[in-house]
């Protein structure tokens, strides 16, 4: 059965061995085109994306324009949908970290931390996490904040024609990814932060490499000020573009640099601290410009503050300690070492559990094959990601797998501000507004 062509959408059906299959066409795009066709003026509808170099991934923007002016802006999402939240229900709690790290792929350590903090709340072991594990979590998150902001500044600069900013940004990000690779074995998608602590401790030589990285980054960061901050062309392109005041931010739930560019110093590391952030000395930068330029300045200053936090972490890590909770019924038995066949459980650890400790062998077997049980209940844990509040709502039915995990991703929430930022402005300014939001579609679609 097919609906009449005049209908905003149509669906055709065909029978298959699996049952009836419906093919649906039309929808929002047809409605926009039809309403625009009825309008008695020069307005046209432009479909910007999902394949577009300036939409930060597969974001689709439906823009109604009158000449060069945007009269209506809407977001189309879902082109990168991975089903991560659903997949989590079919893996045990520890395996979940390998999924969540892939959501916002520019901030994997924040995804892992939010998820693990939620699981640890349900287990009731928040206060049992070793100090060293929390310090390394903070270290990795702040380095990750740097790498995420560098991508934002680099890609945003490239979209404005400032290609040198792009080259510098990716140059510096590469140094941080090298540090991640040294510590976790991977440049991204680490699954390194686990419920109860970490996969392993820092490897030999990591402290010296991180100290070198700090020196290099302190030398390189002022270059962005020289290139862009006072550059009259750069400023003119960003000032008063993507305007969103404090009232708009509060109404739309915007957080992170977008909210702080409106003058509110809201940062979960200060207002609702986790992982011991209340013991670190750092400032929360704000601006009162409410525009894209203010967000750029905030990200630059946040990178400097992150370097200060990393330095404090390195000082604390001089003292040795454990990186996984003591309870062997929860602690994933990852005594890792690099052998001839790559990274894996150390031979000494295998000999011990196979030859001398029946209890350790049983725990190992149960943890790897089944996983630990989490008491029934629900918990919400939030962290301050580079883009704003990243929260994990974790629900357990008392089993070895999550009943439901849902993330409040700041990229998704902040995209609501697109219409408020772009309508009434120029079509060229849409690019600047999107860049100042810094959305990552892996976090939006999940």
**pLDDT tens by residue, 212-263:** 999 999 999 999 988 888 888 888 898 988 899 999 999 999 999 999 999 9
pLDDT digits (tens, 9 = 90+) for 158-167: 888 888 999 9
Average pLDDT of span 52-74: 86
Cα dihedral value 361, 328, 205, 114, nearest 10: 130
Q: How confident is the model at residue 342 (pLDDT cuts 50, 70, 90)?
A: low
Q: Which of 342 and 372 is assigned the larger pLDDT?
A: 372
Give Cα 88 distance to the centre of its chain.
17
pLDDT at 336 over 70: no
State the Cα angle at 358 between 352 and 359, rounded to 5°.
105
Q: Give the per-residue pLDDT at 25.
A: 61
Count Cα atoms within 13 angstroms, Cβ side, for 149. 26
pLDDT at 107 over 70: yes
Q: How confident is the model at residue 355 (pLDDT cuts 50, 70, 90)?
A: confident
Asked if residue 196 lies in contact with residue 125, where contact means CB atoms within 8 angstroms, the answer is yes
Which among 407, 417, 399, 400 is positioned nearest to 444, based on CA atoms? 407
Q: Give the per-residue pLDDT at 425.
A: 87
Q: Which of 6 and 42 is assigned the larger pLDDT?
A: 42
Percentage of the residues of the chain whose pLDDT score is greater than 70: 90
Percentage of the residues of the chain whose pLDDT score is greater than 90: 53
Q: Which of 335 and 233 is assigned the larger pLDDT?
A: 233
Q: Give the per-residue pLDDT at 85.
A: 92
Asked if residue 76 lies in contact with residue 50, where contact means CB atoms within 8 angstroms, the answer is yes
Least confident of 35-39, 115-119, 221-225: 35-39
Strands 19-26 and 44-48: unpaired
pLDDT at 2 over 50: no
Q: How confident is the model at residue 346 (pLDDT cuts 50, 70, 90)?
A: confident
Q: Give the per-residue pLDDT at 314.
A: 94
pLDDT digits (tens, 9 = 90+) for 198-215: 988 898 889 999 999 999
Q: Give the per-residue pLDDT at 383.
A: 95
Q: How confident is the model at residue 364 (pLDDT cuts 50, 70, 90)?
A: confident
Least confident of 81-90, 347-356, 431-440: 347-356
State how far the Cα of 303 lies from the Cα of 143, in Å rounded to an integer: 9
Q: Give the per-residue pLDDT at 359.
A: 77
Q: How confident is the model at residue 8 (pLDDT cuts 50, 70, 90)?
A: very low
pTM for this one? Answer: 0.87
């Amino acid at each position: 059965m097919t609906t009449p062509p005049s209908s905003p959408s149509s669906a055709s059906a065909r029978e298959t061995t699996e049952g009836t299959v419906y093919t649906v066409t039309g929808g929002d795009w047809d409605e926009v085109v039809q309403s625009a066709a009825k309008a008695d003026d020069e307005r046209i509808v432009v479909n910007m994306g999902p394949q577009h170099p300036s939409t930060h991934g597969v974001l689709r923007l439906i823009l109604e324009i009158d000449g060069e002016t945007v009269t209506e802006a809407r977001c189309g999402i879902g082109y990168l949908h991975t089903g991560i939240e659903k997949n989590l229900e079919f893996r045990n709690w520890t395996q979940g970290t390998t999924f969540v790290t892939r959501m916002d792929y520019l901030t994997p350590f924040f995804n892992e931390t939010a998820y693990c903090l939620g699981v640890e709340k349900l287990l009731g072991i928040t206060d049992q996490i070793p100090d060293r594990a929390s310090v390394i979590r903070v270290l990795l998150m702040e380095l990750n904040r740097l790498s995420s902001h560098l991508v934002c500044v680099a890609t945003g600069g490239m979209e404005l024609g400032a290609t040198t900013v792009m080259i510098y940004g990716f140059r510096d990000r590469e140094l941080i990814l090298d540090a991640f690779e040294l510590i976790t074995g991977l440049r991204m998608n680490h699954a390194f932060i686990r419920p109860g602590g970490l996969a392993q401790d820092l490897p030999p030589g990591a402290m010296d490499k991180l100290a070198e990285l700090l020196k290099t980054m302190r030398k390189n960061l002022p270059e962005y000020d020289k290139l862009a901050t006072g550059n009259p062309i750069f400023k003119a392109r960003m000032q008063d573009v993507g305007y969103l005041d404090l009232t708009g931010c509060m109404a739309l739930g915007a957080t992170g640099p977008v909210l702080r560019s409106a003058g509110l110093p809201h940062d979960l590391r200060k207002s609702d601290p986790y992982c011991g952030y209340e013991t670190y000395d750092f400032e929360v930068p704000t601006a009162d410009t409410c525009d894209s330029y203010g967000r750029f300045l905030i990200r630059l200053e946040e990178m400097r503050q992150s370097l200060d936090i990393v330095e404090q972490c390195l000082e604390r890590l001089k003292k040795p300690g454990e990186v996984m909770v003591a309870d062997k019924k929860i602690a994933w038995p990852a005594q890792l070492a690099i052998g001839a066949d790559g990274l894996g459980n150390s031979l000494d650890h295998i000999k011990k559990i196979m030859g001398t400790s029946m209890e350790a062998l049983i725990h190992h077997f149960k943890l790897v094959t089944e996983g630990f049980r989490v008491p029934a209940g629900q918990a919400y844990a939030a962290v301050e990601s580079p883009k704003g509040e990243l929260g994990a709502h974790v629900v357990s039915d008392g089993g070895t797998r999550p009943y439901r995990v849902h993330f409040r991703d700041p990229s998704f929430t902040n995209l609501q501000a697109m219409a408020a930022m772009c309508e009434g402005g120029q079509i060229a300014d849409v690019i600047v507004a999107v860049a100042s939001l810094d959305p990552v579609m892996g976090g939006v679609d999940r």
